[in-house]
Every structure is written in structure tokens, then in C-alpha cells.
Amino acid sequence: MIRFENVGFSYDGKRQILKDISFEIDDNASVGLIGANGAGKSTLIRSVLGFLDFSGKITVDGTEVTKKTLPEIRKKIGYVMQNSDNQMFMPRVVDDMAFGPKNYGMDKEETERRIDAILERLSISHLKEAYNHKLSGGEKKMASIATILTMEPSILIMDEPTSMLDPYNRRKIQDVIVSLPQTKLIASHDLDFICDTCEKSILLYDGEIRGYDLTERIMRDRDLLEGCHLELPYRYQ
């Protein structure tokens, strides 16, 4: 469970990027975090991961996010970055997938077993020995999700997973995300994608929560969306 209580944040000490944010995400829920560019989606995500010095209180499974609890928090949360190039840094996909488990001191056989199972599950076994810098955009995104899954997080947080993907790969990522059992928080301005992957959605505008409801209810509310510089998803237009 993720819980925000009156969270605020500012990069420069002047302009508030997150303004008094409070909400809760239940276990195994899938929640979309939608909002126009600059609404504060990435900033909100980074605060959960403890990368920012926010005010207020964030708890993950009852543990408050502080400097001291960071290792524990990060073990729980799998963070799929917007830019896969920043996420992947080992020569091959398999090395990258092993990096997390190796850091947690997991033994070789167990690591290997996990890697194979996850590659299988994402149907990318053929990419196991591939070099990261030779992957296409879609493959790279898949592989970066794979590197996160090997750490067996109970919560998945993704920042704009479909940016830079073509429709075919977007569809593949969508199927994978839907099939994952974890608690999910997915930031995106791709509203159709959120409709297909998340039961509920948080609508963020200028650092404030403007709505938190069933995805369908938010997505059908033209006035609400347009007031936040978003357009109705295609399916409801």
C-alpha cells in the first residue's frame, strides 16, 4: 500500500511542484497517474522512491519513506524509468537483469532461474544475450521492465512506459502490464493506455490532485479533463 499525506515539494524553494497531495493506493490495485506535461507526475514518482526531499509523509506498506528506510523501500518498489537508456547500463540484457539480484547477494543459480522465468513470461527469451545498445526502442522497454521484475518487487512504478513506442510495441507492453499481479502506479499522458491498464486514475494538474476515481469515470468527464489540458481518450470521443 502506498499512502501520501499532505505531501509538498519544490525544486527551487519557490514554486511548489507538488501541492498538499494526499491519496492511498491499495495492494494489488492498478492506478494511472495522468496529467499534462509538467503536471508533476515524474516528481510525484520520484518522491515515493525517496529521491527528493519532500514535506509531509509518504508510507509504503506502513514504512515511512525516510533516508533510513530507503533500502527497504527500494527493495519493495520496481521503478521503470521513462528513458530505458538511463535504466540499462550493463553490456547485455542478461547482465542487466542480474545486476539487481547480485546486489542483493542472491546466488547464481537462483538468479539464473529467475532471469529465464521472466524472459519467458515477457516472451523475450531471444533477447537474453543481446547487447543493450543494439536493441530497438520496444525491445529496450521490454528489457528494462525485465530488469526490474528480476528483483521481484511487490509494487511497480512506471513513468511514461509508452512514450517512444510504436502501436505494436505499445500493445505488447500493455498486455504485459495487465498480466502482472503487482500493485501498479503508471504515469502517462496516454489516456487510452491508462484506460486499458488501470482500474483507477489520479488526475494531476499543476501539482494538485483534481480527481481520483475509477478510470472510466474520470476519462468520460470532458470538462474535468479539458480543465486540466487533457483531451478525452479516443474511445470516448
Partner 1 sequence: MEINRKLSDLRRLDELSAGTSYIHGIHTLFILLVTFIYIVTLMSFDKYDLTGILMMFLYPVFMFRLAELSFSESLRKIRYVLPFILFMGILNIFFDRDPYLVINGFRLSRGAVSFFTMTVKGFLAVEASYVLIATNSIYDICAALSMLRLPRILISLFLLTFRYITVMIEEVANMTEAYSLRAPGQKGLHISSWGSFLGQLLLRSYDKANELYLGMEARGYTGDLRNYDIGKPVLKDYVFLIVVSALIILCRLINVPVTIGNLIRR
Ligand X SMILES: Nc1ncnc2c1ncn2[C@@H]1O[C@H](COP(=O)(O)OP(=O)(O)O)[C@@H](O)[C@H]1O
Which residues form the interface with partner 1 (CB under 8 A)?
46, 49, 51, 71, 74-75, 77-79, 81, 83, 86-87, 89-92, 95, 99-108, 111, 129, 131, 133, 147-148, 151
> How far is 151 from 97, CA to CA, in rounded Å?
8
Contacts 24+ apart (CB under 8 A), 200-203: 200/29, 200/30, 200/31, 200/32, 201/31, 201/32, 201/33, 201/34, 202/23, 202/31, 202/32, 202/33, 202/34, 203/34, 203/35, 203/228, 203/230
Closest approach, Cβ 7 to ligand X, in A, equals 13
Alpha helices in the chain (DSSP H): 41-48, 70-76, 84-87, 93-103, 108-121, 137-149, 167-179, 191-197, 215-219, 222-227
Region near Mg ion per CB under 5 A, out of 35-43, 91-99, 145-153, 227-235? 35-43
Nearest to partner 1 of 73, 122 (CB atom): 73
Closest approach, Cβ 95 to partner 1, in A, equals 7
> How far is 28 from 206, CA to CA, in rounded Å?
28
Nearest to partner 1 of 108, 126 (CB atom): 108
Residue 164's binding partner, choosing from partner 1, ligand X, Mg ion, none, with beta-carbon cut-off 5 to 8 A by kind?
none
- Please tell me whether residue 30 adopts helix, strand or coil conformation: strand
Nearest to Mg ion of 115, 148 (CB atom): 148
Contact 142, 124 (CB under 8 A): yes
Closest approach, Cβ 56 to ligand X, in A, equals 16
Nearest to partner 1 of 95, 216 (CB atom): 95
Which one among 16, 42, 59, 83 touches Mg ion, defined by CB under 5 A?
42
Q: Is 83 a residue that touches Mg ion (CB under 5 A)? A: no
Binding letters toward ligand X, positions 28-67, x by CB under 6 A: -------x-xxxxxxx------------------------
Task: Identify the bridge partners of residue 208 per DSSP, sorted by sequence position.
Answer: 205
- Please tell me whether residue 65 adopts helix, strand or coil conformation: coil
Q: Is 163 a residue that touches Mg ion (CB under 5 A)? A: no
Nearest to Mg ion of 47, 111 (CB atom): 47
What residues make contact with Mg ion under the rule CB under 5 A?
42
What residues make contact with ligand X under the rule CB under 6 A?
11, 17, 35, 37-43
